[in-house]
Structure 1
Amino acid sequence: MDHNRDAALLTALMDAAADAIIVADRHGVMQRVNPAAEQLFGFSTSVLVGQSVNVLMPKALADLHDGFMAHHLETGEKRIIGIGRDVEGKRQDGTVLPLHLSVGSAEVDGDTVFIAILHDLTARHAAQEALARSQRLDAVGQLTGGVAHDFNNLLTVIIGNLELLQMRGADERQSGLIDDALTSAEMGADLTRRLLVFARKGDLKPVEVDLRELCRDALAILKRTIGERYEIRTDFAKSVSKVMIDPVQLQSALINLALNARDAMPEGGEFLISVADITIDDHYMAQETDIEPGHYVRLFVSDNGEGMPLEAQRRAFEPFFTTKAENGGTGLGLAMVYGFVRQSGGHITLYSELGHGTSFGLYFPALQRARTLQTSGEDQIGSDLPRGTGQVVLIVEDNPHVRKLSIERIRDLGYQTLDAASGDDAYALLGTGAHVDVLFSDLVMPGSLNGYDLAAKVRAEYPHVKILLTSGYASDVITGKMGATGEYKILHKPYRYSDLAERLQALLWSVS
């Protein structure tokens, strides 16, 4: 009786654990795995049980693992037991993820059994990387501000002396040389002013404005300069809160972003400028955007150009970093935008996919009637939000950090989840006979199937599966070259917790 009770308690413990738990024998063969391990590695229990734990490791670690096990059993040295360390794991799709591994051992029926607990460090690593990037930009900003200030003093002396020479009756030849020197000095002064904006030490003149009006004024300039090969679309909300910003700097920032978008579309294309209020009021959305909860007016500038590689995205806001040096790029445009937004009390986000385009989001604190923020996401998971009753949602997302957030969100709403890192993997999973009620897929993914392709196949072959698509772009500016038909409504990232809950309920209660 006690044995049955202990077995039931162990099963309940493993099922309840948020971290992966694996029980293996002395040879490293898995005897039991919990549901969290299935979700983490993408394998089913039936596949894992009976296999070596080496299948969950990159090859380099797997080659060493058996030797570590044998050494521990022979000598009793505890290199890992009871200590814990950071390692790498390997999912079924071959992707590698960071983990914290804790290992314990026990004697069961005269044989050694190992218990491994694995905690996914993907979100922590992403947060650390974002913090390091922010700290690097702040450090560069402090250095840049100091250098720019000193250069301004030097240039003030240079310009002043040149003007004195000019006023004292220089001859025609000397005047030409002085004019050239003054022009160069003024260019240097303009450069330092731009650097001070990045360093958030420039002088702003904020006033209460409507972002839509500022965007319309800037577009009047843009349409005359970018050329006929480029289409500018706008999507302005009917009602938008006022913000307190410098109009000149905002228009300069918008023009910088639009010209960047033009350069990413050498053969022509389209970009979209949208303005709308947005409330960030749950911990998931704040974590996804790295933005403090609050009420904002969001300006999106999206293009359907070449997109940016990961390294360019990481360094996009650093001064003097440019991918267009051969075309005269200075690397100061985005640095200025970043500095202006941050000095205005706002935030900036960047979303880009190679071959599909780029979207910048500028978030400015809204000036509006005092409103009480809703409580965090955990407190919203009450009876006021529509909940699932165990239906299965297949989450398809190639970004591991966003995929993990989506899994947490949807599980907290009372659904079960399966997940895949690409449209191809999701389609293969459905082909195994896995039961799925809702497909929740990103639009842009690696592999042969994008979100629309996957949705079309699922609708044709699995008509009982409901479909919800999501995108990090401000609008469907990229969907023309993805085979879009317009029959799906897109849930745009970042989305609120309540929006996700309502969309899922609406799908499941809709009549096909």
Structure 2
Amino acid sequence: MDHAKDSALLSAIMETTADSMIVSDSRGMMIRVNPATGRLFGYRISELVGQSVNLLMPDALADLHDGFMRHHIETGEKRIIGLGRDVEGLRKNGSLFPVHLSVGHADIGGEQLFVGILHDLTDRRAAEDALARSQRLDAIGQLTGGMAHDFNNLLTVIIGNLELLEMRGVNDRQLALIEDSLDSAELGAELTSRLLVFARRGDLKPVKSDLRDLCKATLAILRRTIGDDYRVKTDFAATISQVMVDPVQLQSALINLALNARDAMPGGGEFLISVSDVIIDDTYMAQETDMEPGHYVRLFVSDDGEGMGPEAQKRAFEPFFTTKSDKGGTGLGLAMVYGFVRQSGGHITLYSEPGHGTSFGLYFPVSQPVHHDGSTPAANAADIPQGQGQIVLIVEDNPKVRRLSVERVRDLGYQTLDARNGDAAYETLVSGTHVDVVFSDLVMPGHLNGYELAAKVRQSFPDVQVLLTSGYASDVVTASMGGTTEYDVLHKPYRQVELARRLHALLA
């Protein structure tokens, strides 16, 4: 094969591969990079060629990498050449992310060249973390289930003996002591029953139910108990599918979530309970929710309270983990909700931002007819409107969600830019960069939240359209953010067809 064919083949490989490919010289200067490298690190190709590969690494790794290259050239010893390893990459915006790096070496006409291939490990790491959390909760469930069973046996003996003593005749002083002991033993039995629900060993009595009716009955109780400082809003779909749930456990779960919301708003506030059908029928939404595609009824409980930090969110469903120990919290409320939903064949999601509130999503599977091939109904590709190369600026502070949003929008036929917060997005617009649509999250760090960014865009760049999105069930959290009904909010998680139709409507 001649040189021209070799060059054409190399070009085809670099253009089509989904992984980052970088060709550098002996000094570590980038001679050639493929388009995937630009997408992965957030640079234009012209910004990379002629620069050191150290531009794409944190300082500590860059120093180590230089040492590896120098050592290999001088001795031929392989410390990184031909050996893949997991390292960290550095994006243009300063964020770090995990990659797998493989390096090859070639001597072409006396010139030392190195080829690096980098594979993004972000999604794999996220999946591994999610699996580890699930496995940890399962292990804790098995442990607590066994303990609860043993404690129930002990409590049975204690309660039985106390009742026998009471029946044999005792004086008033002894009777008071026995009754106090019985009350405590009964509380212990209630505690273990809640542990069994978390461990998915409790006895559920599911019946076909309309979640709207169960929520209305529960709200009649809640409104009398939560106090006048708290406002409860409801948003029930006009029609929803029925699901198989235990009504008592569903109402108990809803009460737990509502009381948690109240405790997160010590000075009063507002929370919303919403119920609607949702169909998860594309890979993006399944990836975002970690759920199997299918038809679900979703119950959302959102508040505008204190919110939860990352560590609290990771451990929220573990039994005995509580941020309210000084207020008498047992750490079993959310564990019970988690166990009930999972035992019912459903899923639970948590979205929270410190200072802006929390939203829990409870998903219960619907029994529904399927197509003749056994699949659930999916959106027809012909019904999904495509873009014509317009530029969408995606504004999202969560790196994983930002990358996912970029993929979703590109798959719809649009070009993308991205920014990590509202301030960076506005700077992009002020710099003169052409943008057709700003697609922004509501809650972000920095000076500009989503509503404030939208207002500045409308004022300074009236030709730029704005689409807002939020992980909260409604706009209950946005009153303090300057929320307005002028903007229709696309609620996370959303289907690809919903995103496509919103973008198409804005640009039509």
Tell me whether the two structures share a fold, i.e. TM-score over 0.5: yes
Residue 160 of structure 1 corresponds to: 160
Partner amino acid, structure 2, of 1:425: A
Q: CA offset at residue 36 of structure 1?
A: 2.0
Partner amino acid, structure 1, of 2:133: R
Aligned counterparts, 1:17-416, within 5 A:
17-370=17-370, 373-374=375-376, 382-416=381-415
Q: Structure 1 regions of 5+ residues with no counterpart?
A: none
Say which SS state the counterpart of residue 478 (structure 2) adopts. Answer: helix
d(CA) in 1 for partners of 2:41, 2:421:
15
2:68/2:80 contact within 8 Å kept? no
d(CA) in 2 for partners of 1:135, 1:148:
20
Q: Percent of aligned pairs with the same residue?
A: 71
d(CA) in 2 for partners of 1:330, 1:480:
32
TM-align CA RMSD: 1.9
| Greater Cα offset, 279-288 or 426-435 | 426-435
d(CA) in 1 for partners of 2:198, 2:375:
31
d(CA) in 2 for partners of 1:418, 1:6:
34
Residue 492 of structure 2 corresponds to: 493
| Greater Cα offset, 12-21 or 291-300 | 12-21
Q: CA offset at residue 124 of structure 1?
A: 0.8
Render the CA deviation track for 1:54-79: whole Å, top value 9, x for unaligned.
12212221222221221111111122
Within the alignment, does 1:451 sit opposite 2:459 as a pair?
Answer: no
2:105/2:114 contact within 8 Å kept? yes
Q: CA offset at residue 441 of structure 1?
A: 1.4
d(CA) in 2 for partners of 1:97, 1:472:
23
Partner amino acid, structure 1, of 2:259: L
Q: CA offset at residue 93 of structure 1?
A: 2.1
Render the CA deviation track for 1:390-445: whole Å, top value 9, x for unaligned.
22222222222222222222222222222222222222333443332222111111
1:19/1:117 contact within 8 Å kept? yes
Q: CA offset at residue 458 of structure 1?
A: 2.4
2:82/2:103 contact within 8 Å kept? yes
Q: CA offset at residue 188 of structure 1?
A: 0.6
2:214/2:251 contact within 8 Å kept? yes
d(CA) in 1 for partners of 2:148, 2:190:
10
Render the CA deviation track for 1:360-416: whole Å, top value 9, x for unaligned.
000011234456645778xx6x44421122222222222222222222222222222
Partner amino acid, structure 2, of 1:112: Q
Say which SS state the counterpart of residue 367 (structure 1) adopts. Answer: coil
TM score, norm. by length of structure 1: 0.95
Q: CA offset at residue 7 of structure 1?
A: 4.3
Render the CA deviation track for 1:339-372: whole Å, top value 9, x for unaligned.
1111111110001111111000000112344566
Render the CA deviation track for 1:222-265: whole Å, top value 9, x for unaligned.
11111111110000000011111111111110000001011111
Q: CA offset at residue 6 of structure 1?
A: 4.7
d(CA) in 1 for partners of 2:33, 2:459:
35
2:347/2:364 contact within 8 Å kept? yes
Residue 426 of structure 1 corresponds to: 425
Q: Structure 2 regions of 5+ residues with no counterpart?
A: none
Partner amino acid, structure 1, of 2:219: L
d(CA) in 2 for partners of 1:34, 1:397:
26
Residue 502 of structure 2 corresponds to: 503
Q: CA offset at residue 193 of structure 1?
A: 0.5
d(CA) in 2 for partners of 1:484, 1:271:
15
2:295/2:376 contact within 8 Å kept? no
Residue 484 of structure 1 corresponds to: 483
d(CA) in 2 for partners of 1:15, 1:419:
22
1:39/1:419 contact within 8 Å kept? no
Residues 1:460 and 1:30: Cα distance change in structure 2 (over 3 Å): farther
d(CA) in 2 for partners of 1:430, 1:322:
43
Residues 1:437 and 1:33: Cα distance change in structure 2 (over 3 Å): farther
Q: CA offset at residue 144 of structure 1?
A: 0.7
d(CA) in 2 for partners of 1:317, 1:334:
5
Say which SS state the counterpart of residue 389 (structure 2) adopts. Answer: coil
Partner amino acid, structure 1, of 2:27: H
d(CA) in 1 for partners of 2:191, 2:122:
39
Partner amino acid, structure 2, of 1:493: K
d(CA) in 2 for partners of 1:10, 1:425:
37
Render the CA deviation track for 1:277-336: whole Å, top value 9, x for unaligned.
111111111111011111111000001111101011000000000001111000000000
Partner amino acid, structure 1, of 2:285: M
d(CA) in 2 for partners of 1:236, 1:373:
28
Residues 1:478 and 1:4: Cα distance change in structure 2 (over 3 Å): farther
2:198/2:336 contact within 8 Å kept? yes
Render the CA deviation track for 1:187-237: whole Å, top value 9, x for unaligned.
110100010010111111111111001101111111111111111000000
Say which SS state the counterpart of residue 366 (structure 2) adopts. Answer: strand
Count of residues in Structure 1 that have an aligned counterpart in Structure 2: 506
d(CA) in 2 for partners of 1:259, 1:337:
13
Partner amino acid, structure 2, of 1:117: I
Residues 1:108 and 1:416: Cα distance change in structure 2 (over 3 Å): farther
Say which SS state the counterpart of residue 272 (structure 2) adopts. Answer: strand
Q: CA offset at residue 9 of structure 1?
A: 4.4
Render the CA deviation track for 1:163-183: whole Å, top value 9, x for unaligned.
000000011121111111111
Say which SS state the counterpart of residue 208 (structure 1) adopts. Answer: strand
Partner amino acid, structure 1, of 2:46: S
2:90/2:96 contact within 8 Å kept? yes
Say which SS state the counterpart of residue 494 (structure 1) adopts. Answer: coil
d(CA) in 2 for partners of 1:178, 1:101:
69
1:242/1:368 contact within 8 Å kept? no
| Greater Cα offset, 222-231 or 160-169 | 222-231
Say which SS state the counterpart of residue 487 (structure 2) adopts. Answer: coil
d(CA) in 1 for partners of 2:382, 2:217:
46
Partner amino acid, structure 1, of 2:337: V
d(CA) in 1 for partners of 2:466, 2:391:
12
Q: CA offset at residue 483 of structure 1?
A: 1.4
Partner amino acid, structure 1, of 2:280: I
2:30/2:48 contact within 8 Å kept? yes
| Greater Cα offset, 97-106 or 341-350 | 97-106
